[in-house]
Amino acid sequence: MKRYIYISFMILMGMVSSCVVPFDPEYDEEPVIFVESYPGASSGYIDILILPAYSKSNTSLAIPFKPEIRFVVNGTTVPVEGIDTDEGWYRAIYSPQPEDRMSISVVSNGFRSVYAETVIPPVFPDRKIDYREVESGIDSYDNVLFVTLSDMNPHYAYGVQICNETLYDYPDGPERWEYRYSGILYPDNMNFNEMMPVSLEAMDIDLYGGSLWAWEGKSLKKGENTFSIKPDTYGYADLSAYDSFFVEEGMRMIYDDQGNEIGEIAYTDRNRLLLYTMSEEFYKYRVANEFQADYSGFVGFVAPSNYCYSNIDNGAGAFAGINIVETDWITKEFIENNR
């Protein structure tokens, strides 16, 4: 297995839709600084979103926002450059490593200065991966990956994404499409109460263009350390086990703009797992925001309208480290060697 730390940094939170972040009027009428950054999400650099945040009930004139940023890694200051300062984007050129200690401070006239710290977590725990066909009906089966973990650390949270890549061999050159999602947990036995943040057992969160199945450290359900992922596809007993979401190749019809068939092209569809180790502040912040977005007005006692969690002193947002490992591509050989 090799480390996976080259994901392009993306912020997918609906509340950051412009260059000003609103927060709940009951939280505070004084403007604050919003900082959001996930060191460890990218290779060779760290992207930071820094914006002014005003109370929805604040009627005073907007204060000009000119942030001064100090970013420190293991006691050494790392320069921060503006990428798109109008939209609040800044970047530190540094490749995070496990156990790196980082801090950030931001000051701007008229705003309270903010400060936050985080540590890049260790790599994902040791694991054993096996692939099985599980009967799901008469002459039908599900293709399921079972992953058994060891040495989980109770001080961290973990997560899993499936990274799907499809390569099309077009006449004028190959094209590559990629997306990430969590698949379906198998067996599908989770209920709403088990996903409540008070238990912090497991939930799907939206991250890097797709769903991420995330859970706190300690252990999985009922002390077990094995989880299973079943993609939202199925096969039949008379079809090859490879004709599934995990690995597939062949020919596919292509069409012109009017929907007419113009021929077939070769394609290869393959997948791998992305395995996350998350700092506590990362997990709590994402869980709080996910429940706020999904259940606002329904479970307000769990996710109130203001921020449920933030590790930004005197401000809002999160400065939270993660570490990502990728598996090898799931190939026919991988499936046969891991049954």
Q: Write out pLDDT tens, residues 252-288.
A: 888 888 888 888 999 888 888 999 999 999 988 888 8
Q: Which of 160, 165, 166, 217 is nearest to 183 (CA)?
A: 160
Decide the pairing of beta strands 21-23 and 46-55: parallel
- CATH number, domain of 16, equals 2.60.40
The answer to whether residues 131 and 118 belong to one domain is no
Within a domain: residue 34?
Answer: yes
pLDDT, tens digit only, all 339 positions of the chain: 333 322 232 333 333 333 555 555 455 567 889 999 999 988 899 999 999 887 666 555 678 899 999 999 999 999 999 999 999 999 999 999 999 999 999 999 988 899 999 999 999 999 888 887 777 777 777 778 888 888 888 889 999 998 888 899 988 889 999 888 887 777 665 554 554 444 446 778 888 778 888 888 877 766 678 888 876 654 444 445 444 557 778 888 888 888 888 889 998 888 889 999 999 999 888 888 777 665 554 443 433 344 468 899 998 899 999 999 998 888 777 777 777
The answer to whether residues 170 and 239 belong to one domain is yes
The answer to whether residues 115 and 152 belong to one domain is no
The answer to whether residues 114 and 175 belong to one domain is no
The answer to whether residues 140 and 106 belong to one domain is no
Bond into 187 cis (ω within 30): yes
- Half-sphere exposure for 327 (CA within 13 Å, toward CB): 25
Distance CA 149, CA 144 (A): 16
Looking at the structure of the chain, the number of domains it has is: 2
What is the tens place of the pLDDT at every residue in 74-127?
999 999 999 999 999 999 999 999 999 999 999 999 888 999 999 999 999 998
Distance CA 34, CA 310 (A): 10
pLDDT of residue 189: 52
The answer to whether residues 185 and 331 belong to one domain is yes
Place of tokens 């109130």: 304
Host domain of residue 56? 2-122+310-321
The answer to whether residues 189 and 87 belong to one domain is no
